[in-house]
Amino acid sequence: MSQQIIIGIWLGLAIIAANLPWLSERWLFVIVRQGGQAKPFWLRLIEWGLLYALILAMGFGFEYKAAGTVQAQGWEFYTATLCLFMVGALPGFVYRYQLRRLLAQAGW
């Protein structure tokens, strides 16, 4: 598999992972909350952070597999990737906290 395809797959997985906590009511997509309550924001944020760490680890794994070594990174790298992960999560966040409410008010 070429390196460009691997990068494309990884970016697609990152976008999907960034949006999953905002779209699912299950904790870690497995555990159903008691009483059918919606997940609180802080639980979604923890889940989002865990998915960020998973995607970052996958990226390091792909880099090691492709190059045989992992380049040392400074804090700037982690800040930039976290910001990109936040931007990727924007559609799910907007859907959860703004669009659903507007659609319910419109009767959809």
pLDDT digit string (tens) for 56-66?
Answer: 999 999 989 88
CB atoms closer than 10 angstroms to residue 47: 20
Query: Residue 31 sits in which domain range?
Result: 3-106
pLDDT band for 55, please (50, 70, 90 cuts): very high
**What pLDDT, on a 0 to 100 scale, did the predictor assign at position 10?**
92
Query: Length of the chain, please?
Result: 108
**What pLDDT, on a 0 to 100 scale, did the predictor assign at position 82?**
95
pLDDT digit string (tens) for 69-106?
Answer: 999 999 999 999 999 999 999 999 999 888 888 888 88
Domain count, the chain: 1
The 8 Å CB, 24+ separation contacts for 40-45 are 44/96, 45/21
Q: Residue 91 class from Cβ within 10 Å (0-12 exposed, 13-18 middle, 19+ buried)?
A: middle
